[in-house]
Amino acid sequence: MQHQEKPPEDNLTELMEFVLLGFADMPHLQWFIFRLFLIIYIIILMSNGTIFLITKMDPSLQSPMYFFLANFSFLEICYVSVTLPKMLLNLGTQRRRISLVSCATQMCFALMFGGTECLLLAVMAYDRYVAICNPLQYPLVMNHRVCMQLVTVSWTIGIPVLIELTYQIFSLPFCGSNQINHFFCDILPILRLACGDTFINEMLVYILVVLFGMIPFLLILGSYSKIISIVLKLPSATSRAKAFSTCSSHLMVVVLFFGSGIITNLRPNTRHSEGTEKVLSIVYTILIPMFNPMIYSLRNKDVIMALRKLLCK
């Protein structure tokens, strides 16, 4: 009886953990899903790890393009390791609880790595723009110092903003259900559990999506529109094919990542969209990191040759 007589203010502070429902609506498929995502996680670690190693070890892969690719592969390992191990643990043990601090930490790192990926894809597009549209100046413009600066900015510029956003969201009062209908602590599912008006927080989310999603995407589109116009003016079909081959893999990754990510975060924040939201999140947080090494290696002769040399040692 005493518990029932507690004032509402006390009840708001009782929520110290969440429950990640994940795939709880498919109880008969839990072990199948566990095995599937365990295999996917191993593939991601091995494939991205291999790309990272060969771009560091092979002398023929020491250009700026492969420097950025190495960073991108390492980033994919970090990004997927924020969400997949916890999801696998939940599927394996059926204990879906996550503390409020762990949830905030997971969300913050997912946001930071996601933002870094957007910026790094824009940097990679700029690298291809300089290489194709201004080849004589390429070694001067994309020197090692500039490459290091671009990568450092991509990794760090969003950290203070995203830490502040995470703090603001988890400073909200939570009441009622503590069940998150997702496989990790994502922004919109967390905001649905908050009490009171979350309009300002949602607007901050949309502003960050524009800053870290839409603006890099538009810069990439601008770079590739210029690249395409230059490539189409090349005299021989061989030259055009070679130029397009260096860009097509990156463009494919851009479309997949930005397409699924922007649709997920700019959809109306309603409960009816939770299923679609979960599927799209799987695409850009798990499936794309798995396919990226395949896309880059299968369409890149230099990477294939370096991989063959590594395997023959």
Give the span between the Cα atoms of 141 and 136, in whole angstroms: 10
Asked if 207 and 241 touch (Cβ cutoff 8 Å), the reply is no
Is residue 153 in some structural domain? yes
Highest mean pLDDT among 99-108, 219-228, 270-279: 99-108
Is the pLDDT higher at 25 or at 67? 67
The model's pTM: 0.88
Is residue 186 in some structural domain? yes
Asked if 55 and 75 touch (Cβ cutoff 8 Å), the reply is no
Question: What's the mean pLDDT in 167-177?
Answer: 87
Residue 142 in tokens: 């994309």
pLDDT at 34 over 90: yes
Q: Identify the band that residue 313 occupies on the pLDDT scale cut at 50, 70 and 90.
A: low
Q: What confidence score (pLDDT) does residue 296 get?
A: 78
Is residue 8 in some structural domain? no
Residue 178 in tokens: 């503590």
Is residue 2 in some structural domain? no
The domain total for the chain is 1
Q: Identify the band that residue 10 occupies on the pLDDT scale cut at 50, 70 and 90.
A: very low
Mean pLDDT (the chain) is 85
Is residue 72 in some structural domain? yes
Question: What's the mean pLDDT in 243-256?
Answer: 78
Any residues with CB less than 8 A from the CB of 229 and at least 6 apart, and which? none
pLDDT digits over 118-151, tens only? 999 999 999 999 988 888 999 999 999 999 999 9
Q: What confidence score (pLDDT) does residue 245 get?
A: 72
Is residue 308 in some structural domain? no
pLDDT at 153 over 70: yes
Give the closest residue to 169 by CA, choosing from 148, 136, 194: 194
Q: What confidence score (pLDDT) does residue 269 get?
A: 57
**Domain span at residue 251?**
17-301
Is residue 9 in some structural domain? no
pLDDT digits over 253-311, tens only? 888 888 777 777 666 655 556 677 788 888 888 988 998 888 877 667 788 888 888 77
Say which CATH number the domain at 138 has: 1.20.1070.10
Is residue 82 in some structural domain? yes
